[in-house]
Amino acid sequence: MATPAQRLRAIHLYRNSLKHMLSWAIRREVFYVEAEKIRAEFDANAGLDDPRQIERALVRGETKYGEYTHPDPYIVPYRPGGSMYARNPPFPQDIHIHLDFGREGGH
């Protein structure tokens, strides 16, 4: 029986593996094939009962996940680090906008 911490680690590993696969396989038909392979690896270890065996399987999975890290991962454009994030940032507080063009000096 897996401990709650091991169960949570397995869930996070599976979810992060699928998210990370999007950096390698942009086309959906390729992604679906790779996602099935990832699911098959998790299903192969689903019957483990001994916490030590589960721990070893998790360590192997986390190591494999680390080996397949993408050098330039895909970031959703509107998330921090994406190409659209903070595209139009607010003006700094020390810049004032004058709407009376040509009369800024109070003339």
Provide DSSP, 16-82: HHHHHHHHH--SHHHHHHHHHHHHHHHHHTTT---HHHHHHHHHHHHHHHHHT--SS----TTSTTS
Condensed to tens digits (0 to 9), the pLDDT of residues 41-52 reads 999 999 999 999
More confident residue, 76 or 100: 76
Of 61, 66, 62, 75, the residue nearest 23 (C-alpha): 75
User: Full-prediction pTM beyond 0.75?
Assistant: no
Condensed to tens digits (0 to 9), the pLDDT of residues 78-99 reads 888 887 877 777 777 887 766 7
Mean pLDDT calculated for residue range 67-72 = 89
Query: What pLDDT does residue 102 have?
Result: 67
